[in-house]
Chains A and B, each alone.
Chain A
Amino acid sequence: MSQTKIKREPISDRRKFILNMARGAGLATMGGFIWSAYVDEVTASSLLLRPPGAINESDFLKTCIKCGLCVLACPYNTLLLAKAGDNKPLGTPYFVPRDMPCYMCPTIPCVPVCPTGALDEKSVTKNEKLDINIADMGIAVVDQSNCIAFWGIQCDACYRACPLLGVAITIEYSKNERTGKHAFMKPVVQSESCTGCGMCERACVTEKAAIFVLPREVALGKAGDHYIKGWDKNDEKRLENASSKTTTTEISKETAVDSLNDGKGLY
């Protein structure tokens, strides 16, 4: 037995050190990738409504320390902290307007208590006074195919519920051609005034709300700096930011006339 036993050379200290270092680095890399992938996944939720005054989402995720002081300050229990299992960025504050909208307190108690500046007091301050009406939590969107006002049934629940009555949601009248004698009274969201408080979503009478609040980055498009309201002097300033880019394709290599006369690719 003792003769067949393989004698092992003891590992030298240097070799041991190098192996241990490699092991540590390998483990750290493995753990690091799993960790990063997880963090990337859990911070990816974009359909989240933040408290008033919240800075933009990527900075918010950096800056919010998840202490819940805004949640404590909210008198309506509107704000919630994301729990494990909510599938939202863990521990960050959000609200679900259909359950409990933001009641737009004039004193905005949730914002000044924020210790980190993730809720920025300046963004809801006008003329050195807090002004909830300039808050920017999201924007209401109307689903025109399921809003009963668009069917011609009279309903102005969202219009009446809006804290900026007649400003953030206006009613557009048009003739109901189907009956020939009635009017449509369609709610229209004015995007520059809507704060995204969600009172309309809460008030909506349909089974699943036909008017609902989405984050502005999600719901709004962007015209870009090429398209200018020519009738608006202030809007023309944006033209300065416009950049131009020329693309070259197979056809546009030559002039338009040449490439038409050439007829390449046609025959």
Chain B
Amino acid sequence: MATLWNNYRYLILRRVTQIGLMLLYFGANAWGWSLLMGNLSSSKILGLIPMSDPFAVLQMFAAGAILSADLLLGVAVAVIFYFIVGGRAFCSWVCPVNIITDSANFLRRKLGIDRAQGFRQPASRNLRYWVLGMSLVISAIMGVAAFEFISPISMVHRGIAFGLGFGWAAMLVIFLFDLFVLKDGWCGHVCPLGGFYSLLGSFSFIRVLHSQEKCTLCMKCKTVCPEHQVLHMIGKESLSVTSGECTNCARCIEVCEDDALGFSIRKLVKK
């Protein structure tokens, strides 16, 4: 039991928050709970505090919508929150799609698909920034929030709260894409929301810190990391993971048997 907790504590906590948040949204629609209402695009916490998806609002702005004060307040709350906990903490602690892609990734490792495919990835992880840019350009041209109309993320979280429809197909597509086509395909390569939070997370406070003197170079952390490029310092230097692409999922911390990785607060003043 102790090892289970030691090896999976963050994973368990992440699943609890992810599923718990979805349950609160679902309960708001099904049973009239008022703790958390709406969905991940925009919510009301306790019927009082607004929180809005900053990327969706950015697209709306590009599309030429008039942004209300309520909405901007919601964006401010979300930006400040993720600024503190790490931009892509959204991806690994909140977003329900993460459960789908993590399962695909887990199966890839268990079935040995990674080894069969080799380590050469056919697409660049910078693709997401292109998709991010494109979603803003298309929003501006078409006059609607372009990504919001195709976003499988919204289909899933909105689907859980308000009825899924064919949203399950979007979930299946992402699962199969990540399992058979591209490792970490959706979350690590394509998703512009992840790209957006990567940019936001470049400045965030809570970061993973590596201590090189404890590291035994087992590389388990790099195997399990969905964004392994952020762990470039492993065994080389004692540094914190400064790349915004790190999702703060803490899988590296759990698999490390040498206690060489842990959460820390980013040093604000560089030495």
Residues in A lying within 8 Å of B, measured CB to CB: 24, 27-28, 31-32, 35-36, 38-40, 42-43, 58-59, 61-63, 65-69, 71-72, 80-81, 83-86, 89-91, 113, 115-117
**Among residues 142 to 179 in chain B, which have CB atoms less than 8 Å away from a CB atom of chain A?**
142-146, 148-150, 154-155, 158-159, 161-167, 169-170
Is A83 a contact partner of B164 (Cβ separation < 8 A)?
yes
B249 CB–A CB distance under 8 Å: no
Query: Chain B residues near A38 (CB, 8 Å)?
Result: 149-150
**Among residues 58 to 74 in chain B, which have CB atoms less than 8 Å away from a CB atom of chain A?**
60, 63-68, 70-71, 74
Is A115 a contact partner of B158 (Cβ separation < 8 A)?
no
Q: Output the least CB separation between A34 and chain B (Å).
A: 10
Complex Cα–Cα for A28 and B136 (A)? 13
Is B150 a contact partner of A66 (Cβ separation < 8 A)?
no
With contact pairs A59-B65, A62-B144, A71-B29 given, residues A83 and B162 touching in the complex (Cβ less than 8 Å) = yes
Is A65 a contact partner of B130 (Cβ separation < 8 A)?
no
In the A-B complex, list the 5 residue pairs whose CB atoms are closest, starting with the nearest: A83-B165, A85-B166, A67-B42, A62-B65, A84-B166
Is B169 a contact partner of A84 (Cβ separation < 8 A)?
yes
A-B contact count (CB 8 A): 135
Complex Cα–Cα for A63 and B29 (A)? 22
B17 CB–A CB distance under 8 Å: no
List, sorted by A's number, 30 A–B pairs whose CB atoms are closer than 8 Å.
A28-B130, A32-B134, A32-B137, A35-B150, A36-B142, A39-B142, A61-B143, A61-B144, A62-B63, A63-B65, A65-B42, A65-B71, A65-B145, A66-B154, A67-B38, A68-B38, A72-B37, A80-B163, A84-B155, A84-B159, A84-B165, A85-B165, A90-B155, A91-B154, A91-B155, A91-B158, A115-B52, A115-B71, A116-B42, A116-B65
Q: Given contacts A39-B146, A43-B142, A84-B169, list 8 more A-B pairs with CB under 8 A.
A: A36-B146, A63-B60, A72-B38, A83-B166, A84-B165, A91-B154, A115-B68, A115-B71
Query: Chain B residues near A68 (CB, 8 Å)?
Result: 29, 38-39, 158, 161-162
